[in-house]
Chains A and B, each alone.
Chain A
Amino acid sequence: MQTEELRLDGNAAGGVLRELFAQDVTAALGTCAGCGTTGAVGALLEYGHGMGTILRCPQCDATVLRIVRASGQLRVDLSGVLFLTIPE
Chain B
Amino acid sequence: MADKPFIARGFHGRRAAAPAGRLPPGQYETRDFPVLSAGPTPHASLATWDFTIRGAGDASPSMRWSWDELQALPHETPTVDIHCVTKWSKFDTKWEGVSVDTLLEAARAAGVADGAFVVAFCDGGYTTNLPLADVTGGKAWVAFGYDGAPLPPEHGGPARLLVPHLYFWKSAKWVRGLTVLPDDEPGFWEQLGYHDRGDPWREQRYRGDP
Contacts and interface: CB of A to CB of B under 8 A. Distances in A.
A70 B86 contact: no
Interface string B177-198: 0000000000001011110000
A75 to B, nearest CB: 5
A51 B35 contact: no
Contacts of A73: 193
Interface string B81-104: 000011000000000000000000
Nearest to B209: A71
Contacts of B153: 2
Nearest to A52: B192
A39 B135 CA distance: 42
A48 interface: yes
B169 interface: yes
Interface residues of B, number: 27
Nearest to B193: A70
Contact of B85 (A4, A45, A51, A66): A51
Interface residues of A, number: 26
Nearest to B192: A68
Interface in B152-210: 153-154, 169, 189, 191-194, 205-209
A77 B209 CA distance: 21
Given A51-B85, A61-B40, A72-B2, A6 B206 contact: no
Contact of A3 (B41, B189, B205): B41
B189 A52 contact: yes
Interface in A34-75: 45, 47-52, 54, 56, 61, 63, 66-68, 70-73, 75
A22 interface: no
A54 B178 CA distance: 24
A73 B1 CA distance: 10
Contacts of B125: 63
A3 to B, nearest CB: 4
Contact of A51 (B86, B191, B209): B86
Given A49-B37, A50-B86, A71-B208, A2 B2 contact: no
Most interface-central of B39, B154, B191, B206 (chain A CB within 10 A): B39
Contacts of A70: 192-194, 205-207
Interface of A: 1-4, 6-7, 45, 47-52, 54, 56, 61, 63, 66-68, 70-73, 75, 77
Q: Which A-B residue pairs are the 8 nearest by beta carbons?
A: A68-B192, A50-B86, A70-B193, A70-B206, A3-B37, A49-B36, A75-B193, A3-B41
9 contacts: A2-B41, A3-B41, A49-B86, A51-B36, A54-B39, A56-B40, A70-B206, A71-B207, A71-B208
Given A51-B38, A54-B39, 20 more contacts: A1-B35, A1-B154, A2-B41, A3-B37, A3-B41, A47-B37, A47-B39, A48-B38, A49-B35, A49-B86, A51-B86, A51-B169, A52-B189, A61-B40, A70-B207, A71-B206, A71-B208, A71-B209, A73-B193, A75-B192
